[in-house]
Structure 1
């Protein structure tokens, strides 16, 4: 049996024989959606969709030095809708390599402080951070958490490839790291929902149902909103796929969380 099928089989067995205790706070069940990079016009076009489902989300901005006056207006529009403006780095670099080569101050002065300065001047003060490329280690995390960020978001993948071959595909409901347990954890993982993830609507519904049953928040993220499959240079998610997620969350009466909301939910 191929490795990826063995892995899924093992996870299924764990789910069948694991303890199934009722959630402490079922009313907290929800979903935390976030979106990365610099697709401001495309994100702003989703405002009516988010309004339709009363959803609040987080937008992680990179390369803030290139923000135009129009971009800043769009960001303010998103914020006025109740969405969170998070931070995704100045140059979208490899954090672990930078901190190793440049030291803590060099890393902060290259990746963190310049972009924050641009955002601050535009009136934004992010408290959540998405690791560029999901690259980080405990040293990077420690530096960022002591620099004022409340929560750091990493990347989780349901499907991985190597040299063009699929290594495995794990249904999201069997990825425990994408579920937030409201334990004030400040380093978290979100599942990629772009086209490249090859997720089905059934898999996403199962993931949302699990969040409902366990009283947890499932963390999801994407990049550019697309109305058709991506071209060679594009990377993003299907807008209709997102709407199905939003509609299912509403049907299940799930709450929508911004990233900085999560560690602040307390007993």
Structure 2
């Protein structure tokens, strides 16, 4: 089954079938871990935080939105030099569900996906994963995007009276991650100030993942002490990274997930 029609990729050497995409798939995982991800175009924050990632040996996945222009390519070069992975996050940051309701899946791929993948491929970057803007996905969008990417990431909240560690949707056994094309991520912007992302909540989730050899996906946006937009502080990230390491959890990029 073709990933995209010829009208989208006229001469693209990207994987053209699901089998070819899977041929690049890593081996089955056995260890529980954390998949740390960041969204949008917060290049200055991300580059400034590289020493923090290096200090804890953390490799993350950065989902880039917008045009893959010179600033994006420069950031990609620096991020990859430190072992991080790059994923797609759409050209215009549109809500996929709503777009699909008024347009064809092919139109979404042509407008939001193909331009990014073409420019990434030209820079020798093969994006194996996609993060939904604003976590807007459903069965129809997943079916379409999983013909292009090995995994897609969305997000969800938890009830005010529920523990993160009790919500099975966020946890996938490491050995079965290949069976889950769409993975649910938990936002940690503003940690530990919000009830669903206190250190106790995150610690409990990590303890479950370590005990059960499960994988949990986290996401954030900016990395800064304060400011506009969604952000997590370097102090909070250091606390999260340190706890995961203490429990023996590995940090996986999306590229390392089978």
* TM-score, normalised by the number of residues in structure 2: 0.81
1:1-267 matches, within 5 Å, as: 28-65=31-68, 67-68=69-70, 70-147=71-148, 149-158=149-158, 168-182=160-174, 183=176, 184=178, 185-195=180-190, 198=194, 199-228=197-226, 230=227, 233-262=228-257, 264=258
SS across alignment from 1:153: strand
SS across alignment from 2:106: helix
SS across alignment from 1:55: coil
SS across alignment from 2:130: strand
Q: Indicate the residue corresponding to 1:165 in structure 2.
A: none
The whole-number CA distance in structure 2 between the counterparts of 1:158 and 1:42 is: 28
CA drift of 1:89 comes to 0.6
Measured at CA, do residues 169 and 39 of structure 1 come closer, stay the same or move farther in structure 2, by a change above 3 Å? farther
CA drift of 1:123 comes to 3.1
Contact 1:26-1:215 within 8 A present in 2 as well: no
Measured at CA, do residues 59 and 169 of structure 1 come closer, stay the same or move farther in structure 2, by a change above 3 Å? farther
Contact 1:31-1:257 within 8 A present in 2 as well: yes
Q: Which runs of 5+ in 1 are unaligned?
A: 1-24, 160-167
Question: Runs in 1 of length 4+ with deviation above 6 angstroms?
Answer: none
Q: Which runs of 5+ in 2 are unaligned?
A: 1-27
The whole-number CA distance in structure 2 between the counterparts of 1:61 and 1:139 is: 23
For residues 138-161 of structure 1, what are the alpha-carbon distances to aligned partners after superposition, in whole Å with 9 as ceiling and x for unaligned? 1111111112x00010112236xx
The whole-number CA distance in structure 2 between the counterparts of 1:158 and 1:44 is: 31
Measured at CA, do residues 105 and 82 of structure 1 come closer, stay the same or move farther in structure 2, by a change above 3 Å? same
Measured at CA, do residues 130 and 26 of structure 1 come closer, stay the same or move farther in structure 2, by a change above 3 Å? closer
SS across alignment from 1:126: coil
SS across alignment from 2:125: coil
The whole-number CA distance in structure 2 between the counterparts of 1:240 and 1:128 is: 28
Whichever of the two has the greater Rg, that structure is 1
CA drift of 1:116 comes to 1.9
